[in-house]
Amino acid sequence: MAALHTGVMYLLLQTIHSAPTDECPQNLGKNDLYTYGDLCIKVYYGKYDWVDARHQCQREGGDLIQIRDAGMQQFLQRALSIQRSEDTGFWIGASDSESESHWKWVSGDPTMTYSHWSPDQGPNQGGFFFADGGREDCALMKIHDEFR
């Protein structure tokens, strides 16, 4: 789970708070901050592996984003679509580190009721595949792959 994806990494922090962004925790700042329902969503730029990305989010009082429905998926696609790069992706809060091929959200939900996997990836494939052919226990939403 510690492998870095090539290119620039982004991570998404979600923290439960009420919208609008003026009511999000002040430590998140105002840049690259979005709200969706009662969530404040912060985008961090830099190279992170999944574990470091999650720790960064937790230090800020949140966690990696958990995409619960198609509406949230579409919102993220619209909000993040300006980040057009072949190598750009966003770490999300899904993992199968506890049990291979049994993906769940970092909140501990036993099943994922919504997912938007790329072909040949996800629960039935044992993980996400990277350029080196390795399998991972973490989830990266890739821009160039229609945010899957």
pLDDT single digits (tens) 75-124? 888 877 765 555 567 888 888 888 777 778 888 776 676 666 555 555 44
Between CA 1 and CA 36 the distance in angstroms is 28
How many residues does the structure list for the chain? 148
Number of H helices and number of E strands within the chain?
2, 9
CA distance 63 to 11: 10
Q: Is the pLDDT of residue 40 over 80?
A: yes
Domains of the chain with bracketed CATH: 9-144 (3.10.100.10)
- What are the backbone dihedrals phi and psi of residue 42, each rounded to the nearest 5 degrees, phi first? -110, 135
Q: What is the mean pLDDT of residues 35-52?
A: 83
pTM of this prediction exceeds 0.75: no
End-to-end CA distance of the chain: 18
* Secondary structure (DSSP) of 75-139: HHHHHHTT---TT-EEEEEEE-SSSTT--EETT--SS-S---PPTT-STTTTSEE-TTS-EESEE
Please tell me the predicted confidence (pLDDT) of residue 138: 81
The amino acid at 2: A
